[in-house]
């Protein structure tokens, strides 16, 4: 675990107070690691999440801590997302990461079968008293008053149950709530913006909307529809890490920024390559993608990018 500064200059709650719609990079398994967070921060991303970390493994193993959680002093504001199903484990994990981050988030939304069967993720939306207890433990045990304790949820078919969950979390001291506007059973169905609005209207803490944010214009339209305080993007940022800066597709500068950051941070090739596959998907033809996807070394990727798209210097000349 690399250290960060002990006190970031302002808390995330101060950012909500400024009245702008916060733009947030979602927790993504394998993808929202330090190198990618460093990239999206260059392009107007306000807050980043780590990938979901299983709190029990994190506490049990130094190896898990070092591989799952890497940061640096520029990687702020940062929210560490945990999967947990008991209050003390979550609070203990929060205390470990608190000096290096700005808040922890409890995953109450992951719909994957392994997570649900282990008692993590979206099954927690059916356990409001447990969620309340977990939030309260974090608030009581982390001694930094600016440190946030948030939850990320999916919605119930019966929205009254979701509202009840959110109000219980608010009573326990939750800092803010991210709502993925789909049920645990829904995957690519349309986002229920009306449900997000209902939740926003039912609590006084900030609410973040998540789901189907693909372009900067979606940030504003989601805000208009729901009144939320921020939006969170996942696949949209994978496809275009410069999305929050208003680019329709990944600009060449962003692609080369990713190359530089990956080399500087020693990103494993598979991760480096996968991110570029996502970034180039909208701007390359199928034959080009076939060639690019088969490349197997960093030097081959760099040669391909230079030959196909040119360098940043070419843009300026």
11/38: higher pLDDT:
38
The residues, ordered by sequence, that sit 6+ positions from 128 with a Cβ below 8 Å of its Cβ are 164, 165, 168, 169
* Cα angle: 207, vertex 211, 214; to 5 degrees: 115
pLDDT the model gives residue 187: 87
Residue 232, annotated as binding a ligand: no
- Statement: residue 3 has pLDDT above 50: no
Beta pairing partners, 149: 104
- Statement: residue 8 has pLDDT above 50: no
Residue 286, annotated as binding a ligand: no
Question: Which residue is catalytic, options 45, 108, 110, 254?
Answer: 110
CATH number of the domain enclosing 22: 3.20.20.70
Query: In terms of C-beta density within 10 A (0-12 exposed, 13-18 middle, 19 or more buried), how is residue 169 classed?
Result: buried
- 7 lies in a domain? no
User: How many other CB atoms are found less than 10 A from the CB of residue 171?
Assistant: 12
Question: What's the rounded Cα separation, in Å, for the pair 232 and 211?
Answer: 7
- Statement: residue 1 has pLDDT above 60: no
For residues 110 and 86, state if they share a domain: yes
Q: How many CA atoms lie within 13 A of 210 on its CB side?
A: 27
| Domain endpoint, select from 245, 263, 293 | 245
pLDDT the model gives residue 317: 56
- The proportion of the chain whose per-residue pLDDT surpasses 70, expressed as a percent, equals 96
| Domain endpoint, select from 245, 272, 290 | 245
Indicate the helix (H) or strand (E) that contains 47: strand 47-49
Q: Is there a catalytic annotation at residue 110? A: yes
pTM of the predicted structure, to 2 decimals:
0.94
Indicate the helix (H) or strand (E) that contains 180: strand 177-180
For residues 235 and 99, state if they share a domain: yes
Mean per-residue pLDDT of the chain: 94
Q: Tokens 């304790």 label which residue?
A: 149
- 223 lies in a domain? yes
Give me the torsion for CA of 24, 115, 111, 248, rounded to 10°.
Answer: 30
Backbone torsions φ then ψ of 125, nearest 5 degrees: -65, -15
| Domain endpoint, select from 210, 245, 280 | 245
For residues 238 and 268, state if they share a domain: no
For residues 185 and 276, state if they share a domain: no
pLDDT the model gives residue 9: 41
Domain count, the chain: 2
Residue 180, annotated as binding a ligand: yes
Residue 81, annotated as binding a ligand: yes
> What pLDDT digit, counting tens, does each position of 100-156 carry?
999 999 999 999 999 999 999 999 999 999 999 999 999 999 999 999 999 999 999
For residues 311 and 225, state if they share a domain: no
Mean pLDDT for 204-220 is 97
The token duo for 286 is 């199928």
For residues 120 and 257, state if they share a domain: no
For residues 38 and 115, state if they share a domain: yes
- 2 lies in a domain? no
Provide the domain limits for residue 221. 12-245
For residues 281 and 256, state if they share a domain: yes
């Amino acid at each position: 675990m690399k250290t960060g500064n002990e006190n970031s200059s302002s808390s995330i709650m101060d950012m909500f107070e400024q009245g702008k719609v916060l733009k947030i990079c979602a927790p993504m398994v394998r993808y929202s690691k330090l190198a990618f967070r460093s990239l999206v921060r260059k392009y107007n991303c306000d807050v980043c999440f780590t990938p979901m970390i299983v709190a029990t493994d994190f506490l049990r193993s130094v190896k898990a801590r070092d591989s799952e959680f890497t940061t640096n002093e520029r990687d702020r504001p940062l929210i560490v997302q945990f999967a947990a199903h008991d209050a003390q484990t979550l609070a203990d994990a929060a205390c470990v990461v608190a000096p290096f981050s700005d808040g922890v988030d409890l995953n109450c939304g992951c719909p994957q079968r392994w997570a649900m069967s282990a008692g993590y993720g979206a099954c927690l939306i059916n356990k409001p008293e447990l969620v309340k207890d977990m939030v309260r433990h974090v608030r009581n045990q982390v001694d930094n008053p600016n440190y946030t304790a948030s939850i990320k949820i999916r919605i119930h078919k019966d929205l009254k149950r979701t509202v009840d969950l959110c109000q219980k979390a608010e009573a326990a001291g939750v800092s803010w709530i991210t709502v993925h506007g789909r049920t645990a059973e829904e995957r690519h169905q349309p986002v229920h913006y009306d449900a997000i609005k209902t939740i926003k209207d039912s609590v006084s803490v900030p609410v973040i909307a998540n789901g189907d944010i693909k372009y900067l214009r979606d940030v504003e339209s989601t805000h208009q529809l729901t009144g939320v305080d921020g939006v969170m993007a996942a696949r949209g940022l994978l496809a275009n890490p410069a999305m929050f800066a208003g680019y329709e597709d990944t600009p060449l500068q962003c692609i080369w920024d990713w190359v530089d950051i990956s080399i500087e941070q020693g990103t494993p090739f598979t991760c480096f390559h996968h991110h570029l596959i996502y970034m180039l998907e909208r701007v390359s033809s199928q034959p080009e993608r076939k060639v690019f996807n088969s490349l197997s070394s960093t030097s081959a990727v760099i040669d391909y990018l230079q030959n196909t798209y040119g360098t940043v210097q070419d843009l300026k000349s």
